[in-house]
Amino acid sequence: MKPKKRQKLCYHCEGEIDLDVIVCPFCAADLREEKPEQIKSIYRSFGGVERTDNHETSQSLYPSPFPTKSEPVLEEVLEEESVAHFEKNPSSDKLSSVICPTILFTLGIQLFVLGMFILLFSHKGIVLLKWDGTLWFLYVLAACPLLYFGYRALSKIDR
């Protein structure tokens, strides 16, 4: 029966490693140093020097380049104005003006692809899906106005 190897946890990645290892094989942490938590507890237990608040000292010596909370930021004011303008103007008309051309364009593309599929892959006028291949031109003709009006309406939206 082999004796069980003594192991410890890595303080950095909490991986189980041998007790005599000085560098963690998982995270490459140096295990010769003590854990930061242990060092703090040692200072507290011996009544070591307490940590002073350096934030107040640094604020008095070096003023922050960022605006404080009491000063309104120009970007925040502009954002509030744009939100107020957006709330005043309902966008339901804009939404319907986007949806209708998109549906027309999508339907036109789909019918065009279906017509070309029937034209190219029909065998003796019949597609394997059992659609009559002699009517391919109807799908392409139906797709052309839908493509035209849908594309025109979509190009107007960008302007």
Question: Residue 61 falls within a domain, yes or no?
Answer: no
Q: Are 10 and 17 in contact (CB under 8 A)?
A: yes
Q: Output the pLDDT for position 11.
A: 81
Tokens standing for residue 66: 């960022």
List of residues 6+ apart from 67 with CB closer than 8 A: 73
Domain count along the chain: 2
pLDDT (tens digit, 9 = 90+) per residue, 41-64? Answer: 555 555 555 455 566 666 666 677
pLDDT digits (tens, 9 = 90+) for 120-149: 888 888 877 666 788 889 989 999 998 898
35 in any annotated domain: yes
Tell me, yes or no, whether 154 and 98 share the same domain.
yes
Separation of alpha carbons 131 and 119, rounded Å: 11
* Cα–Cα dist 156/101, whole Å: 10
| Predicted confidence (pLDDT) per residue in 63-113, tens digit | 777 766 655 555 555 566 555 555 555 556 666 777 888 889 999 999 999
Q: How far is CA 73 from CA 46, 48, 67, 76, in A?
A: 48, 43, 7, 5
117 is a domain residue: yes
Q: What is the mean pLDDT of the chain?
A: 74
